[in-house]
Structure 1
Amino acid sequence: MSTAPDATIWDRARLGITIGSVILIFLAAIEALAVTTVMPLVAADLHGEELYAVAFAGTLATGVIGMVAAGAWSDRAGPRAPLYTSIVLFIAGLVIAGAATDMDVLILGRLVQGLGGGGETVALYVVVARIYPQHLHGRIFAAFAAAWVVPSMIGPFLAGAVAQYLHWRWTFLGVAVLTAIAFVLVAVRLRAVDLNAHSRGPADPVPDTAGRSGGIGLRIVLAVVVAVAAVAVGLAAEAPSTIGWPLALGSIVVIAIAIRPLLPVGSLHAAPRLPSVVLMRGLLAGAFFAAEAYVPRMLMERFEFSPTIAGLALTAAALAWSSASAVQGRYGERLGSRRMVIVSTALMLAAFLGLIAVATTRSLPWAVVVLWGLAGGAMGLLYPRLTVLTLAYSTPADEGFNSSGLSISDSSGSAVTVAIAGLLFVSRPVGGSGFAAVFGLAVAVLLIAAIPGFRIGDGPGSSGSGQVSAESAPPRD
């Protein structure tokens, strides 16, 4: 495929894979926004309010297993088979959740869905790395973010309307049907594309540039340990506080030990460049998604918004995320990582503090829509940048490992923070203080994320000062 500076993600050679990938992101967006919108109703209908946080954290946790498996599989045999397998698991999980008769079965479906969703994310990252030249990475990830635009406009509203006037089950089953159709289309699109051009032969040694430890078997075992421990953090909310908090803290320690070999060396210590990119992604995702899980719930429980209207906050965030991501894709290299970290952190901090004020005063509920839109814009500006930097710091031999490491950090950070948020919420559920505690947790995690944020650099050849060297800078329009 052409790597000329004037090549685009929409040129004839890449059109099919671009369309197929965007369709998958589109459906993932529909599902994520729909589930976040209707989960308060699902938990109430299935009498599983105490497992509310686990329904989110469990999916993120098992996603870690899918990410590790898909990353190693992609490095050895190319991303086609891991992508197909992941899509099938994703569909199966949706069907199980949609047919659930109690909260335990629904969580089982969410766990299977997480396996598929995690693997799909990593496999798509490797597809991007092998099909698109580096100077198009920002554009394709901006296109992925743009695939959230239509779902963000109609997804939460439609999910709320479906749950309110039909049944919440169709928010799972409907996406399963659409994903099955898209699976056929994507398989046809990818059949004629060479995805193995940069993969290693079976006799080639695995370089140690990523600092990986052990073989694929050990990494999968460690991923299972991380997933189980993350779910245990969420289940701690069901136990008395004298047992729940020690269980949660012990599980977090287990996660910290088990996750180290799954990430680039130095990630937990915020070493410069790639390790800091990976660490910041996990902390940033944790802060945002823990808060997001409770935004529609606060609007419905404390302010008696309907599911349809409560979904407007998610719509505002997703639209702002997509718009800011487009700005990042076009001007990200000119702005530099340091500026994007400062701007994004400031915007998210303002949003979280505003949510605390609303939860505490129990007034101005419509401000939540604006505040959450602000947080979404902050994520859109910085989140894709971290993906672009991960690929920039990678080689063809470790694209799968580094991409899985990024996504593992993302999902683990989100799962643990969401689970802790659930524990905080049930510990202080009276008068809105539980919501304030959740948003306060998001503030704390966000401030910690700023530490590695100033060490991510701007890609190979950068000095870490926020400037891009002439050798590493992609062509500019």
Structure 2
Amino acid sequence: MTAPKTLDAPYEPPRIFGPLYRTASLGILLVVTLIAFEGMSISTVMPAVSEALDALDLYGISISAFLIAGLFANVVAGLWSDRRGHAVPFLLGVGLFTAGMALAGAAWSKEVFIAARVVQGLGGGSAIVAIYVMIARVYAPEARPRIFAALSAAWVLPALVGPGVSGIIAGTVGWRWVFYGIVPLVVPALVMLLPALRGDGGETPAPGSGSAPGSGPRSRPLPMTLAALATAVGAGVLLAGADRLHTDPVTGGIATAAGLAALAAGLPRLLPAGSLRFGRGLPTTIMMRGVLAAAFFGVNSYIPLVLEKELGFGLAQAGIALTVGALGWSTGSYLQARREWDRALLVRLGAAAVTAGILLTGLGLVPGLTGWLMAPAWLVAGLGMGVSMPSVNVTAMRQSPDAEQGANSAALQVVDTLGSGLTIGFGGVLVNLIGHDDIATGYLTIVALMAVIGLAGAAAAGRMRDAS
């Protein structure tokens, strides 16, 4: 137990790498790092994979398959975690992710590789939600900002070295070993996490020892599973339809409408009541995760494109801005964990910083100025994400009853995936429709729209506070 605060011994939150949490923290970070490394490496090796499997269209399909499968797994894993505890969805998720990596390495056809990406998405989506629940149930509340900061940092190293390392591996021993190489690293992560999975790694009660399964509408297995399926399929159909709007407006329009209908049927059931109208407290907290992801990643994905195609940067140079953004994100995550904050205020400031960074990237296209201005601009945006995203996670776990931690962890992942996936997809539509021959115009249109989303998030962040 933590010591009470006294005049002689000021209270300090338990350290996430101290004796109490060390093995759980290392295991969690290793799993997240492996998932992040795979995510950062896939774009580097996809040209080689597409060539080897004779499938030039494999890139987009494989990314979509991973995201959609992960979205479905988010909900099922959250439901299971609330009803039976986080151990099974975590172990199953890690097992599926590992099996998917092995299958991708062994893939002998396009269809097998896509199936492998689906398996990876199911595993990754399940494991991430289970990790969030594990943090809520194993770590003391005052330690959670630090472990969420560490989770953000776990994405930085793969962002920095993942593309380079995977390129070296693919160029020397072959692209298959980018996938095979991750498999044996899973074992030490599981060994370190065994105490937390047994429920004896922290100060809070283990699942099932102190909280009953939820009894609300988001605790019902069949309706939730169907809603998750409708949401995942709707997102996939919507993105596919939007992608075809510029080549086949009729078919693309029908698919887009069908996807929106499926989303409208499924998504509200996956979120706390009042989320889509930004109800005060937990509903707004959940939605802020999607708003932030939508604004940031809606621009992040197109910075290399405009730097390369409009400003003549090389691929390595264009990637520097994204690397700087990742460093800003890590720095912001570190800063938010150093003391106690008004989390709603921190999210508001973070959303404002993301908006400012988005707008500042436009300076790189002003005649007479340099495209290198996008790097410090994206540092500002990354800093905003670093202070706000962990704050959203911490607040959501604090506002969640024990029996709904899984459902709300899943909701965070669902709105994150939808927010980023939809804005990235529609950004591509805008580039094709508005700026196909003038990418700068398309990019500036994206900047304007994402800045509006960021400003809306800054305005809504105050509603994260509970009505009381």
Q: What is the TM-score when the length of structure 1 is the normalising length?
A: 0.83
Q: Is the 8 Å Cα contact of residues 363 and 374 (structure 2) preserved in structure 1?
A: no
Q: Give the residue type in structure 1 aligned to 2:262.
A: V
Q: Is the 8 Å Cα contact of residues 45 and 175 (structure 2) preserved in structure 1?
A: yes
Distance 1:448 1:63, change over 3 A: farther
**Alignment pair present for 1:323 and 2:331:** yes
- Output the CA distance in 2 between the equivalents of 1:369 and 1:276: 31
- Output the CA distance in 2 between the equivalents of 1:134 and 1:202: 16
- Output the CA distance in 2 between the equivalents of 1:363 and 1:95: 47
Task: Compute the displacement of 1:372 (Å).
Answer: 2.4
SS at match of 1:194: coil
- Output the CA distance in 2 between the equivalents of 1:404 and 1:62: 13
Task: Compute the displacement of 1:171 (Å).
Answer: 4.3
Match of 2:415 among 401, 409, 420: 409
Q: Is the 8 Å Cα contact of residues 351 and 371 (structure 1) preserved in structure 2?
A: yes
Distance 1:149 1:387, change over 3 A: same
Partner residue, 1:373: 379
Render the CA deviation track for 1:168-208: whole Å, top value 9, x for unaligned: 5554444x335434444345554664379343479956243
Distance 1:163 1:262, change over 3 A: same
Partner residue, 2:78: 71
Q: Is the 8 Å Cα contact of residues 230 and 419 (structure 1) preserved in structure 2?
A: no
Match of 2:223 among 198, 218, 238: 218
- Output the CA distance in 2 between the equivalents of 1:276 and 1:151: 31
**Alignment pair present for 1:9 and 2:16:** yes
Render the CA deviation track for 1:357-414: whole Å, top value 9, x for unaligned: 5468697333333332222111001000000000110122211111112222212222
Q: Give the residue type in structure 1 aligned to 2:101.
A: L
Bigger shift: residues 356-365 or 115-124:
356-365
SS at match of 1:10: coil
- Output the CA distance in 1 between the equivalents of 2:109 and 2:218: 40
Once the two structures are superposed, the pairs formed by residues 67-146 of structure 1 within 5 Å of their partners are 67-98=74-105, 106-146=113-153
Task: Compute the displacement of 1:76 (Å).
Answer: 1.9
Q: Is the 8 Å Cα contact of residues 329 and 384 (structure 2) preserved in structure 1?
A: yes
Q: Is the 8 Å Cα contact of residues 348 and 459 (structure 2) preserved in structure 1?
A: no
SS at match of 2:200: coil
Task: Compute the displacement of 1:29 (Å).
Answer: 2.6
Once the two structures are superposed, the pairs formed by residues 34-433 of structure 1 within 5 Å of their partners are 34-35=41-42, 55-98=62-105, 106-159=113-166, 170-174=177-181, 176-177=182-183, 179-186=185-192, 188=194, 190=196, 193-194=199-200, 197-200=205-208, 204=212, 206-208=214-216, 212-213=217-218, 215-236=220-241, 237-238=243-244, 240-302=248-310, 305-331=313-339, 333-334=340-341, 336-358=342-364, 364-427=370-433, 428-432=435-439, 433=441
SS at match of 2:207: coil
- Output the CA distance in 1 between the equivalents of 2:126 and 2:399: 21
Partner residue, 1:449: 457
Render the CA deviation track for 1:409-441: whole Å, top value 9, x for unaligned: 212222222222233333342231444444444
- Output the CA distance in 2 between the equivalents of 1:321 and 1:207: 37
- Output the CA distance in 1 between the equivalents of 2:214 and 2:445: 45
Q: Is the 8 Å Cα contact of residues 158 and 308 (structure 1) preserved in structure 2?
A: no
- Output the CA distance in 2 between the equivalents of 1:350 and 1:262: 31
**Alignment pair present for 1:20 and 2:27:** yes
Q: Give the residue type in structure 2 aligned to 1:311.
A: G
Bigger shift: residues 233-242 or 262-271:
233-242
- Output the CA distance in 2 between the equivalents of 1:440 and 1:348: 13
Bigger shift: residues 212-221 or 82-91:
212-221
Which stretches of structure 1, 4 residues or more, deviate above 6 A after TM superposition? 40-51, 360-363
Q: What is the TM-score when the length of structure 2 is the normalising length?
A: 0.84
- Output the CA distance in 2 between the equivalents of 1:409 and 1:140: 21
In structure 2, list runs of 5 or more residues that go unmatched: 5-10
- Output the CA distance in 1 between the equivalents of 2:447 and 2:53: 26
Distance 1:44 1:365, change over 3 A: farther
Distance 1:364 1:42, change over 3 A: farther
SS at match of 2:463: coil
Bigger shift: residues 219-228 or 197-206:
197-206
Render the CA deviation track for 1:103-139: whole Å, top value 9, x for unaligned: 6655443332222121111100111111111111112
Question: How large is the RMSD of aligned CA atoms in angstroms?
Answer: 3.4
Render the CA deviation track for 1:22-46: whole Å, top value 9, x for unaligned: 1112222322333356667867987
SS at match of 1:330: coil
Q: Is the 8 Å Cα contact of residues 64 and 408 (structure 1) preserved in structure 2?
A: yes
Distance 1:203 1:153, change over 3 A: closer
- Output the CA distance in 1 between the equivalents of 2:437 and 2:109: 26
Q: Give the residue type in structure 2 aligned to 1:221.
A: L
Q: Give the residue type in structure 2 aligned to 1:370.
A: P
Task: Compute the displacement of 1:214 (Å).
Answer: 6.3
- Output the CA distance in 2 between the equivalents of 1:45 and 1:181: 30
Sequence identity percentage:
31
- Output the CA distance in 2 between the equivalents of 1:218 and 1:354: 44
- Output the CA distance in 2 between the equivalents of 1:105 and 1:424: 32
Q: Is the 8 Å Cα contact of residues 75 and 225 (structure 2) preserved in structure 1?
A: yes
Q: Give the residue type in structure 2 aligned to 1:223.
A: A
Distance 1:317 1:107, change over 3 A: farther
Distance 1:109 1:162, change over 3 A: same
SS at match of 2:403: coil
- Output the CA distance in 2 between the equivalents of 1:309 and 1:41: 22
- Output the CA distance in 2 between the equivalents of 1:220 and 1:288: 29
